Amino acid sequence: EDKVVQSPLSLVVHEGDTVTLNCSYEVTNFRSLLWYKQEKKAPTFLFMLTSSGIEKKSGRLSSILDKKELFSILNITATQTGDSAVYLCALNAGNMLTFGGGTRLMVKP
């Protein structure tokens, strides 16, 4: 059975800090790994990763995948209060997405 585990469960930082969120997985037929940001309602798409070692970047957010060690990290530099959200990692194993439990990030001013 495919499995996705995110850590930490929650995190509180101050504006300007850098955070690293973790997503580890077990899968039989890997296709891609996706990161979403969920503020109040709909998760919004951040990144899709398919290849190991290639960093995807968007502004202060970046993500990388390690298919050998079966994990991905999401980095946020110079955090702002608007980064406060739940960050979801999802595994695409060909049929459907399997979501992790999410990491709740709170950024204090």
Partner 1 sequence: DGGITQSPKYLFRKEGQNVTLSCEQNLNHDAMYWYRQDPGQGLRLIYYSQIVNDFQKGDIAEGYSVSREKKESFPLTVTSAQKNPTAFYLCASSMGWGGYEQYFGPGTRLTVT
**Which residues of this chain interact with partner 1, rule CB under 8 A?**
4, 6, 31-32, 34, 36, 41-45, 48, 88, 90, 92, 94-97, 99-102, 104
Closer by beta carbon to partner 1, 79 or else 92:
92
Closer by beta carbon to partner 1, 17 or else 86:
86
Give me the least distance between CB of 3 and partner 1, in Å please. 11
Closer by beta carbon to partner 1, 17 or else 104:
104
Interatomic CA distance for residues 86 and 84, integer angstroms: 7
Give me the least distance between CB of 94 and partner 1, in Å please. 5
Interatomic CA distance for residues 58 and 67, integer angstroms: 21
Q: For 3, what's the count of Cα atoms within 13 Å in the CB-facing half-sphere?
A: 4
Residue 95 one-letter amino acid = N
Give me the least distance between CB of 99 and partner 1, in Å please. 4
Interatomic CA distance for residues 57 and 93, integer angstroms: 23
Strand pairing report for 19-26 and 3-7: antiparallel
Give me the least distance between CB of 78 and partner 1, in Å please. 26
